């Protein structure tokens, strides 16, 4: 079964991962990234899909429960990076957040780990996740692997993801993520949504 045959616009969710000032500051083309993500969110909303903004932010309790074995987040604990009170952990101001969008705070790399997002998506009947955001080799890769294990159908928007490490970004999009996800673009997503909507109607 191809993606188009198994795709329903109303049963998909666009996950915008870690698009916060603290994360996007390391991305050279962040303005272009934000613009493309806004186009993607507009397309998904047009066809009655769901939009989810996922932000990493830690409070004092979260810091206290991070074990030293967690290499990434133990470093965040030492520096107090990604504190929930900081404006650096808010959703990037250039992104269009609409009423009805879901906003999730996470405390680990993946969007589905240590959150209730999987349950919320299941309750909405969502079985296709469209992934966007930063970094390709961090939040996006972690979320893609976890979501694939939870049997979601996955689409990654290549012009809506970015990484400070360009080589890692290239390798992941070309050789790693296609094992688990359909690689598309904003324009490709718009065509898919339109075609699936006509088919459903």
Of the listed ranges 34-43, 54-63, 192-201, the one predicted with least confidence: 192-201
Of the listed ranges 37-41, 66-70, 73-77, 186-190, the one predicted with least confidence: 73-77
Structurally, the chain folds into a number of domains equal to: 1
**Structure token pair of residue 148:** 């694939």
pLDDT in the model for residue 4: 57
| Per-residue pLDDT band at 43 (split at 50, 70, 90) | very high
Please write the tens of the pLDDT for every residue from 109-159.
999 999 999 999 999 999 999 999 999 999 999 999 999 999 999 999 999
Q: Is 55 inside any structural domain?
A: yes
Q: Is 4 inside any structural domain?
A: no
Q: Is 78 inside any structural domain?
A: yes
First to last CA, the chain: 20
Instruction: Specify the CATH number for the domain of residue 143.
Output: 3.40.50.850
Q: Is 117 inside any structural domain?
A: yes
Q: Is 122 inside any structural domain?
A: yes
pLDDT in the model for residue 1: 44
pLDDT in the model for residue 169: 97
Q: Is the pLDDT of residue 56 over 90?
A: yes
| Per-residue pLDDT band at 35 (split at 50, 70, 90) | very high
Q: Is 3 inside any structural domain?
A: no
Strand order in the sheet with 153-162: 102-106, 50-56, 12-17, 128-134, 153-162, 182-184
Q: Is 34 inside any structural domain?
A: yes
Range of the domain at 68: 9-200
């Amino acid at each position: 079964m191809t993606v188009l045959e198994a795709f329903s616009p109303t049963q998909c969710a666009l996950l915008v991962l870690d698009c916060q000032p603290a994360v996007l500051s390391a991305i050279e083309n962040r303005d272009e990234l934000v613009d493309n993500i806004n186009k993607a969110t507009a397309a998904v909303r047009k066809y009655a899909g769901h939009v989810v903004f996922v932000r990493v932010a830690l409070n004092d309790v979260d810091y206290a429960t991070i074990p030293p074995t967690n290499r990434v987040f133990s470093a965040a604990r030492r520096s107090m990076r990604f504190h929930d009170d900081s404006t650096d952990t808010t959703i990037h101001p250039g992104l269009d957040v609409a009423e009805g969008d879901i906003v999730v705070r996470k405390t680990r790399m993946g969007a589905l780990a240590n959150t209730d997002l999987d349950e919320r998506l299941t309750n909405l009947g969502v079985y296709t996740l469209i992934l966007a955001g930063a970094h390709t080799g961090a939040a996006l890769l972690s979320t893609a692997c976890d979501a694939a294990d939870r049997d979601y159908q996955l689409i990654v928007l290549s012009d809506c993801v970015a990484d400070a490490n360009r080589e890692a970004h290239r390798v992941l999009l070309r050789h790693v993520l296609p094992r688990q996800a359909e690689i598309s673009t904003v324009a490709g997503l718009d065509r898919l949504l339109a075609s699936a909507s006509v088919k459903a109607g």
